[in-house]
Amino acid sequence: MSKTNEGSVLTQLFKTFFGKHWPVWVGGILLGFLNILLFAIKSPWGASGGIGNWGENIYSVLGVFSLENVTATNASLYGMLCLMIIVGSFIGALFSKDFALRIPPKGEMIKGLLGGILMAIGATIGLGCTIGAFFSGVPALSGGAIIFSFALMVGVIVALRYLMWEMEKFPKWSSGKSYTWFSAKGKGRTHTILGWVMVVGVGVLAYSYTKSLQTMTWFVIVGALFGLISQRSRFCIVKAFRDPLMTGESHGAVGVIAGLMIALFGFTAIKYFGIGVDVTSLRAREMTWVFPHFWAKAAIGGVIFGIGMTIAGGCAVGTLWRIGEGQFKLWLSGIGFLLMAPISKLFLVPKVDGILPQSMKFKSFLPDYIGYGGSFALVVAILLFWYWFVKWNEKTGKFSAF
């Protein structure tokens, strides 16, 4: 085979991955498998803890207020994971010529910041976000995750009602000039070259931890893949909840359902067989990603988070990969999230915990009540019903706002 033909084949392969966006269900399946891998290595995917860690470190460096009750670490695994999601998305956006710095109207920027603040409050009260408490929490067979999921839907409905009211009564709030800078020009070779530089950088960073902290090596690699896959497939959990009720489209929901179903099989096997631990640590493995938020904390946090992510236009992972794509509204959402999370953790969460009795904020592991078979069947039934609903609603439009 000639070099020309080899180049042509490689070019076609590159275009296959970056010439157009992937179906959301492909992204969901890949993310589900990677989530299983991450769990097998250490623990499942989470996002709010990593973003909050950034804020904790910033406040610690600035010495703005006491962080005695906040654990601030300089090398948090999940802080690195979130950073690499942004990097992976940036690489995908560069290769696909999707990257550009997009500045929206002022009203949208305000909503991005406000949405991030609300997501931070919801995540700290509810002990998780759309990733940790939903995308990883549900397949972890957490009862609190089920409550959090339904609460997210309530929050989305409330936020959609508000946005419809805003568009009707005050349409100018989010209108105005928008700007786009640094978009690809011509064949976009500068973007492609920068993308390859970033790929090399990820490889060097991952290798740098191979001798000192091998778990971090995996978090670097998996985090970058999370970001790239999410960007290419437009994977965003807010779309899964919002779009069926707004436009009737089911693509986002189907992608999330696919990822949850894949992770459910893997997580159940890891917990049931105690994969990766000895017999003495089996219970700890079973309780991984089962947080003390059943039922009220999950409900309160989920509603607030659902409102925030809908106003911002991006969930936890959606915010991160859109930051890497250059969407300034989500930059502000991320800033609001990381600045508010430590404040909420220090001042708001203790007040909520002081009000709620223990019976409203405990760990609920479904197999403790209905066994592994019953728990697995329950989650599958919920996912199948969700799939049926979004497909039925897509055809009928019964519950769509538009």
User: What percentage of the chain has pLDDT greater than the value 90?
Assistant: 87
pLDDT at position 188 is 87
Give the confidence band of 86 by pLDDT, cuts at 50, 70, 90: very high
Please state the rounded mean pLDDT for residues 77-82: 94
Nearest to 142 by CA among 128, 152, 155: 128
Please state the rounded mean pLDDT for residues 126-137: 97
Q: Is residue 185 part of a domain?
A: yes
3-state SS of the chain? CCHHHHHHHHHHHHHHHHCCCCCHHHHHHHHHHHHHHHHHHCCCCCCHHHHHHHHHHHHHHHCCCCCCCCCCCCCCHHHHHHHHHHHHHHHHHHHCCCCCEEECCHHHHHHHHHHHHHHHHHHHHHCCCCHHHHHCCCCCCEHHHHHHHHHHHHHHHHHHHHHHHHHHHCHHHHCCCCEEECCCCCCCHHHHHHHHHHHHHHHHHHHHCCCCCHHHHHHHHHHHHHHHHHHHHCCCHHHHHHHHHHCCCCHHHHHHHHHHHHHHHHHHHHHHHCCCCCHHHHHHHHCCCCCEEEEHHHHHHHHHHHHHHHHHCCCHHHHHHHHHHCEHHHHHHHHHHHHHHHHHHHHHHHHHHHHCCHHHEEECECHHHHHHHHHHHHHHHHHHHHHHHHHHHHHHCCCCCC
Between 51-55, 234-238, 353-357, the lowest mean confidence (pLDDT) is in 51-55
Nearest to 159 by CA among 318, 317, 304, 315: 304
Q: Is residue 8 part of a domain?
A: no
CA distance 97 to 15: 11
- How many distinct structural domains can be found in the chain? 1
Note the pLDDT tens digit of each residue in 5-16: 556 788 888 989
pLDDT at position 110 is 97
Give the confidence band of 70 by pLDDT, cuts at 50, 70, 90: very low
pLDDT at position 278 is 84
74 or 373, higher pLDDT? 373
pLDDT at position 65 is 67
CA distance 242 to 298: 19
pLDDT at position 69 is 46
Note the pLDDT tens digit of each residue in 198-246: 999 999 999 999 998 899 999 999 999 999 999 999 999 999 999 999 9
Nearest to 130 by CA among 265, 268, 274, 312: 312
pLDDT at position 97 is 96
Please state the rounded mean pLDDT for residues 153-169: 95
Torsion of CA 367, 272, 81, 213, to 10 degrees: 140
Note the pLDDT tens digit of each residue in 244-299: 999 999 999 999 999 999 999 999 999 999 998 888 899 999 999 999 999 999 99
Asked whether the CA dihedral 65, 351, 54, 112 is positive or negative, the reply is negative
160 pLDDT higher than 60: yes
170 pLDDT higher than 60: yes
Q: Is residue 57 part of a domain?
A: yes
33 pLDDT higher than 50: yes
Note the pLDDT tens digit of each residue in 306-329: 999 999 999 999 999 999 999 999
Residue 222: which domain range?
22-396
74 pLDDT higher than 60: no
- Specify the pTM: 0.95
Note the pLDDT tens digit of each residue in 333-346: 999 999 999 999 99
64 pLDDT higher than 70: yes
220, 84 Cβ separation under 8 angstroms: yes
